[in-house]
Amino acid sequence: MKILFIGVGKMGLPMSCHLLNQGHDIRVLDPDPIRLQEAAIKGLEVASQANDSVEDFIWADYIFSSLPNDHAFLEVANQVAQKAAKNTKYIDTSTISISASAKAAEILENAGVQYLRVAVSGNNHMAAAANLTILASGPKPVYDEALPLLSSWGSSQFYLGDKEQARLMKLVVNLLIAQTSAMLAEGLTLGRLGNLDWQDMWQVLSASAVGSPILKAKSAQLGLPLGERDFSPTFTVHQMIKDLQLITSAGDDLGASLAQTKTTLGWMNQAIAQGDGGLDYAAIIRVLERQVGITDLS
């Protein structure tokens, strides 16, 4: 299979490498020359980066993309519509708004391009380990044909419908991830105020009914003795704010108040104001600790 992969950042690079390891011919596009160097080291062929080049778009049976935001996605979707051959399959894996995806769907349909929305749940480490959860929506025949490709990224795949269901489901998942960090921030701050031992709290929570995979992952990272807590990012505060803005916007559009989620968004913004924007999104724990006068934030 001939695949053009657009966007080889933290998620796109490992995903494109998994496709390469399946034996497919992969060419990659990215505006960042350093990312292209990293892709070439991994054995990926660098496509022409010229804005007016159409060869790689016409060459491809499939075009994949992994992009940072609505603006970048719509720019690429328009390029695909203008440059790709009719009946080319376009699969986008970005976390974007439902409205941007729907707008692209109309543009791509008019161009005769088949568009599959594939949201992936998991971080870059999970992408490298081929342990992502795949959430797909769009034309079912395209999904069925692409499933062997998607399965290279993870063993759990879900087809959710023929339009924007995958986009919304990704936002639902990320809402619960964000709210887990908020729940931990409140609960652990309460415990510290009552002199519960930090490590004891994590051990109990991990073994209890609330011991979800995401909580256990945070326990491995943050359940160290005070002074050794590791807030190095798997997903930064800035990145989580982007997702929370998408989530609350979807809530406004669909008539869901999402009051708790909007409070969490406020805490994330406070984390940035306090200089923690580059840390893991669980740094909102430190926001609540500061609010109650806890000074040992390490």
Catalytic residues: 170
Output the six-digit token pair for 75: 């720019």
- C-alpha dihedral over 134, 139, 141, 147, to 10 degrees? -10
